[in-house]
Every structure is written in C-alpha cells, then in structure tokens.
Amino acid sequence: MVSVADKVAVVTGGRRGLGAALVDELLARGARKVYSTARTAYSDDRPRVVTAELDVRSTESVAALARIAADAEIVFNNAGTLLPAALLTGDLAEVTETFDVNVFGPLRVTRAFAPILAANGGGALVNMHSVLSWLAGSGAYGVSKAAAWSLTNSLRLELAAQHTQVLGVHAGFIDTDMVSAIDRPKAAPSDIATRILDGLQAGQTEVLADEVTVTVKAALSGPVEHLTFSTAR
C-alpha cells in the first residue's frame, strides 16, 4: 500500500474534471508535490502544484514530462477522450485517436515513468477505466476502455518485480464536461477521487467507484448479451 502524505504525484489530465478532483484530494492528504498536466499550458497558483503540457499521443511529449517529473512516486493515468465513433460507421480517424489516447497514451506514460518509480522505491500506478470496459454499445470508447483494463492487468504483473502497486479504477458516469451531454445519473468527481485514494492507500488492486460499477462487475459471469450500455443506469 502507498501513503499519499509527503509523496510526489503526477496526474495526467489534471486541469479539470476528475483530474482536478484528484489533484485537490492529493493535496488535502498531504502530497508534497503534484504535477498536473493538460494538452495546453495553464497555471495553478498553489505552491505544491506544478503544471505541465502533455499530449499522451506523443512519445516526445511524454518523455519531456518524465524529465521534468523525475521525482515522481505515484502516477495517475487519467487523461482520456470520448469521441462519437461507432465502430462500423464512424470516422476511422476518431476510432484510431480514441485508442491512441485511451490505450496507448497510458502505455506511453507508464513506459516512461516505470524506471522513475523503480528508482524512487516502487511507488504506484493508477489507471482510469470505466464501467463501459465491460459493456457493449458505446463504440470505440468502450472497446478502448476494455483494452485499457487488460493493459492494466498485464502491467500489474510486469511491474510487480519493482514493487510498484498498480491500481485499476472503474467508474460509471462522473459529472464532468466529457459526459455533460449524456442524460444519466452522475457521481461527483470529488467523491470518486476520495474512493480512488482510499483504495490506493488500502493497497487495493481495483476500485469499483460507484454502485453501478459494482452491479455490472457482478454480472460478468452472466450471459454476455446482457452486458450492454443500457445496463449502466
């Protein structure tokens, strides 16, 4: 298990939404420094926050962040995208970008920071998934999150030798700009951030951050045709 107090963390996509809530919660729990990234430059006047530009689609951009944040002990792969890309009829460029951000983005970040975490004692890696990792019907986004879930589970094995805790987070709809147009019940970002950090500090490998996620996870042993987007209510 990893204590947050006096640790240095990286939060990708930390400017708004769940990322911003994670930054707030890390500071509240005594993190010594938090690197918070966004695709474009922005400022944060809190002395323990260091902002940085990051495009997770770019190996060069990720490498530049790793050089800046060489003292990192916890990495949160939170940056993601939600594009309206149906698998058969959607723009294939949007399908490709969805995977580039949601799957290869976390992999690029992890590959860059794994040696840093090892050098700094092992630390932790936290990857954001979705309840839609397990449900059909949300196009490229859901498929990318299913791939991200598998990625996290495999990274957990590969990072075990360097004593890096790997935590996968599944959540339903969170009240952020990304899903503002979706008419579904939504959790407050601050509540999800609290549950994530509770799970991290308890040494968990998976956090089911809300009731809908618990319900859907329990249904995975049932008929596959019941695992559809309509289940996430």
Cα 129 to Cα 146: distance, rounded to the nearest angstrom = 8
Q: Would 2 be classed as within a structural domain?
A: no
Find, among 211, 163, 158, the residue nearest to 187 by Cα: 211
- Residue 166's H or E segment, with its range, is strand 165-170
- Residue 134: phi, psi to the nearest 5? -110, 0
Residue 21 maps to which CATH number?
Answer: 3.40.50.720
Domain, as residue range, for 12: 8-231
Q: Would 111 be classed as within a structural domain?
A: yes
Q: Would 1 be classed as within a structural domain?
A: no
Q: What is the pTM of this model?
A: 0.93
pLDDT for 99 equals 97
Per-residue pLDDT tens over the stretch 19-54: 999 999 999 999 999 999 999 999 999 999 999 999
Question: Could you give the number of structural domains in the chain?
Answer: 1
